[in-house]
Amino acid sequence: MEDYIGFANLPNQVYRKAVKRGFDFTILVVGESGLGKSTLINSLFFTDIYSNEYPGPSQRIKKTVQVETSKVILRENGVNLTLTIVDTPGFGDAVDNSVCWQPVLNYVESKYEDYLHAESRVHRTTIVDTRVHCCLYFISPGHGLKPLDLEFMKKLHDKVNLIPLVAKADTMTPEECNQFKKTVLNEITQSKIRIYEFPDCDDEEENKHQKRIKERIPFAVVGSNVIVEANGKRVRGRKYPWGVVEVENMEHCDFVALRNIMIRTHLQDLKDVTNNIHYENYRCLKLGAVGK
């Protein structure tokens, strides 16, 4: 098992800056409770952000959508990544879910508002960036998107970088999973929902490699908080009577693809798009409204 995440694999120029200042990166996780959000976050960052003592919000609060943040500082290769995870327990759990995107939207916009305030102060020292840089939206494995999924994505797609995930991919056969991914992507396109597009990079070879990763969108993920044995190796996985599903095996699911593209290769782009597009939209609307 790899024991590092790889956010410090940066181009030289970015690396030098990052060594000095470090990164702030905020991930928002949204989806109905029980879809494996907390487990996946733990799997992604090797840290027990949620542990037995701190079981994660979904086990503690129910029914109303809350927004809860946890912070960890990871250090790799001399670079600090201050990672903030924003969880939304209670999402989709109520009888009437027609406005359950609202608290999430409020959170995203409140961070833009904070940033706008900080920017407009006369002495702008380094502003801590608490804006949401990407939203992992967990889709329940099944036949297609639910009305709630469509509603949420429509409300948030022009506010934040949306990355849809197929949750608990191990509950489907590979054929079912591929079919489900196609259906989901179709529905997203038909509904004119814009998910985050991973741009190409400058390197030809790297692009070829990334093309294969991008073909896997929406990423179908499996999470696990335990280490099990598979073929003599100790791996993060889920053990079944018929075998082990390995989280970090690309033949079993897209976990590694997601981690590579989000954390290794596109972290800076997620930050740039947040700043240059989503935040800029917010800022223009806000300042425009004041001018009227």
We find the least distance from the C-beta atom of residue 222 to ligand GDP, in angstroms, to be: 4
Spatial CA neighbour of 3 closest among 41, 42, 46 = 46
Which one of 90-98, 118-126, 150-158, 168-176 is the stretch in contact with ligand GDP (CB under 6 A)? 168-176
Q: How far is CA 218 from CA 139, 181, 229, in A?
A: 10, 6, 28
- Alpha-carbon distances of 250 from 22, 109, 166, 247, 257, rounded to whole Å: 30, 36, 15, 8, 7
Among 31, 56, 218, 223, binds Mg ion (CB under 5 A): 56
Q: Which of 26, 42, 58, 224 binds Mg ion (CB under 5 A)?
A: 58
Among Mg ion, ligand GDP, none, partner that 26 touches (CB below 5 to 8 angstroms by kind): none
CA angle 161, 140, 131 (to 5 degrees): 20
82, two tokens: 């201050």
Question: Could you tell me the smallest distance in angstroms from the CB atom of residue 139 to ligand GDP?
Answer: 12
Give which of 188, 197, 219, 216 is closest to 270, Cα–Cα. 197
Task: Please tell me the distance from the alpha carbon of residue 57 to that of residue 206, in angstroms, as a whole number.
Answer: 38
Convert residues 24-53 into a mask of x (bound to Mg ion by CB under 5 A) and - (unbound). Answer: -------------xx---------------
Q: Which does 171 bind (CB under 5 to 8 A by kind): Mg ion, ligand GDP, none?
A: ligand GDP
Q: Does 37 bind ligand GDP (CB under 6 A)?
A: yes
Q: Which residues bind Mg ion (CB under 5 A)?
A: 37-38, 56, 58
Q: Which residues bind ligand GDP (CB under 6 A)?
A: 33-39, 56, 58, 168, 170-171, 222-223, 238
